[in-house]
Amino acid sequence: MVVKETFRLHPPVPILPPREAMREFKVGEFDILPKTRILVNVWAIGRDPNGWEKPNEFYPERFEGSRIDFRGLDFNLLPFGAGRRICPGLDTGATNVEFTLANMLYWFHWELPNDMKREDISMEEEVGLACQRRTPLWLVPISNSSQVE
């Protein structure tokens, strides 16, 4: 749930690589002609209030009991694209994120540095080819020595 919510709010790339329409079709009230270049803004889709309740809040529980997945089958969550042009590294990337997160949470307790409080953390992003935090997050890992034996 945490990984899905993270991919929803912070997709690996904010806008998918361009696609070209092969035939005429409609998107809402817009007519799309053949050969039109189409850009899909997955960042905006993940924050669309028509698709998500409280779209700007980090709330992993929204996926509890939900069949929504980030593998391109649900158009509300497309961090890796969909169809034949889906990111070929999806499985490797998702597995690495889950494995790394699980190990970091298992082996360490995390604290903020220098008496910093949770309210002081800025989640503002800089948007470019990929999204990144405007201010780097610094955490202090404290070994869970009870796990080591």
pLDDT digits (tens, 9 = 90+) for 50-98: 999 999 999 999 999 999 988 888 889 999 998 888 999 999 989 999 9
Sign of the Cα pseudo-torsion (72, 50, 42, 37, in order): positive
Q: Which token pair is 119?
A: 């309210």
pTM: 0.79
131 is in an annotated binding site: no
The confidence score (pLDDT) of residue 126 equals 82
pLDDT higher than threshold 90 for residue 47: yes
The confidence score (pLDDT) of residue 147 equals 60
Q: How many percent of the chain have pLDDT more than 90? A: 60
